[in-house]
Amino acid sequence: MFPINESGHSETKGGRNEKNDHLWNIFRNIQELIRFADQKIQVLFVISGLLSTIVFRQALDAIYISLFQKIFVCIYLCGFIVFVVMSLIALIARSKKVEDMGIVRHIYFGHVVKNKKPMDYINSVLNLDNSEIEKDLACQIYEISQIAKTKFKYYKYAWYVLIVQLFAFLCLVAWKLF
């Protein structure tokens, strides 16, 4: 896909390194997926919050509701607790620490601030060659891909639990109507 020269590096086109451009595009796309997952989880939180407000207001009258309604309130409450846990795991997802492979790390902010002074970071970046940048970027892509995978996995679980909550809610509404 990328023409390689004798030194093993991709050739540039118009003074730019195509492999670096490709890696940066992948990096940005995965970052966008992570933002998208966070937004979807926040929407689920809003839906669950609205349903929970209605159910919990009705549950305050627990003395006056039937056994059937109490069971569905309990199902809803259990679903709500599981939903919150799954959603929080999705929102705070982090990748597992990648083993140190001797790669000079310069992209992630945690690696940037390990430099004691700004000039330390600037000098270390200026001394990098394209191969080192590509390795660091590929490693970052791997790490954020792990984060995206975790976020979408727990988003899916939260979605399933929200469906259970919605079912319990609809049963409670139907019971009230009939």
C-alpha distances out from residue 142 to 110, 135, 146, 148, Å: 16, 11, 6, 10
| Alpha carbon distance 67, 32 (integer Å) | 47
pLDDT score for 62? 61
Report the pLDDT value the prediction gives residue 15, as an integer from 0 to 100: 45
Query: How many whole angstroms separate alpha carbon 69 and alpha carbon 9?
Result: 67
Torsional class of 14: left (φ above 0), alpha (ψ -120 to 50), beta (otherwise) = left
pLDDT at 98: 65
Q: What does the pLDDT read at residue 85? A: 93
Looking at residue 178, its pLDDT comes to 55
Look up the pTM and report it: 0.72
What is the total residue count of the chain? 178
List the chain domain ranges.
Answer: 14-177
Residue 43's pLDDT is what? 92
Quick one: angle between helices 18-59 and 130-177, nearest 10? 20
Per-run averaged pLDDT (10 residues), the chain, 178 residues: 45 60 88 92 91 79 73 87 91 74 73 81 81 84 90 93 91 75
